[in-house]
Each structure stands twice: as structure tokens, then as C-alpha cells.
Structure 1
Amino acid sequence: MTGNDHVTYNVAEKRYEMPFGHLTVYANVRKDTNKLYIDYVFAPPELRGTGAAGQFMRELMDVVRTEKLMAVPICGYAASWLRQHSDYHDLIS
């Protein structure tokens, strides 16, 4: 399963989103000066087990790096994913 490799920020919903066909994986977030708090990551049931949430997290962490932020994973999935991906450990606050 592949998304469009494009994570966007939805200002109205205060979340990052990535479409996978007609479905969307998203993360509810809060931003401050240099931190992105990842409160909740959601993947629709149809996408669970396909790697969609993992692909989304990789894209989201690339945004964090590009914007020179630090990630604060509040969500259990986000925290677990970050622990398992050492190439993003430098972004964890």
C-alpha cells in the first residue's frame, strides 16, 4: 500500500494528513516554537496492517526534520514507531 508520498497540514483540523486512495491516515498535533506534539495517529481499519501508518510516520518525521522541529510523541503508536526507527532518534524531544 502506498500513499501519494505527500503529507499536508490541515490548518482547520490541526493535523497532518496523507491520503491513501479514498482513505486518509492522519496525526492530530500541537505545535509550539520548536516542537511538534503528536497527540494521536489514526489509520482507518481498512489500512491497518498494510504499512500505511508507518509510511505516514516516515513522511511526517521528514517534515519535522525539514521544519527543524523536535517531535514529542504523546501517542503510543508514534512513540513506539520512533523507538524502532533509529534514523529519527535525533528528532525526539
Structure 2
Amino acid sequence: MELNVKDNPARHRFEATVEGKTAFVDYRRKPGVIKVMHTEVPKELEGRGIASSMTRQVLQQIAAERLELIPICPYMQSYLKKHPEYQSLINIRFDKSKQ
């Protein structure tokens, strides 16, 4: 599924609206670093690939901005395990064993 994902810096999240409902990826930024905290898709929209599409687009945006990623969000962590092409974005100081 292809979505129109937009950054909403005022709310610290990337958002996509589908059928009047908003799915989002919550983040915190510091200069050069983005910490992805949580991914949420409304129950009515689950099972349609929305989280996956949003996550891919968010990772592409992070790469384009040359940010280091700290993936706190369990969904993001799972996605990264399945998509090693994004491993280079992960902040090397982030210790996955301490989550």
C-alpha cells in the first residue's frame, strides 16, 4: 500500500490519513539523530500494510536527511530485522540489548 506520509514536527510524528483516520510514527529529534518511539495504526485499518508502508517511507526520509536512527519502537525494530538494507541507519551507540 502506498500512502502519503507527512512529517508533522509540531506533534513529533510522521502521519498518514486513510479513510479519515490517522496512523502515525511518533519520534523525538536531536541534531543529527532521530529516536522512533511508537508506531500506531487505528484498529479499523489494521492488517492492510499501513504500518509497513509508513515505516518504509519514514526510513527513506531518515536516510535522505542523513539522520542516525535509534529504534525504540518494537514495530520499527521488527521491520529493521526483516529489512537489513536499513541497518546502516541505526545509531551505533544504541545498544539493542538494553531495551
TM-score calculated relative to the size of structure 2: 0.83
1:48-67 mapped onto 2 (5 Å cutoff): 48-67=46-65
In the comparison of the two structures, how many residue pairs are matched?
A: 91
- Cα distance per residue 1:1-52 (max 9 Å; x no partner): 442xx32121221111122232222111100111110011101112211111
Q: Which residue of 1 aligns with 2:67?
A: 69
Give distance in 2, aligned partners of 1:2 and 1:60. 12
Where in structure 1 are there 5+ consecutive unaligned residues?
none
Where in structure 2 are there 5+ consecutive unaligned residues?
92-99
Give distance in 1, aligned partners of 2:6 and 2:33. 17
Q: What one-letter code is carried by the residue in structure 2 that aligns with 1:9?
A: D
Largest Rg, 1 or 2: 2
TM-score calculated relative to the size of structure 1: 0.88
Task: Find the residue that maps to 1:12 and give its secondary structure.
Answer: helix
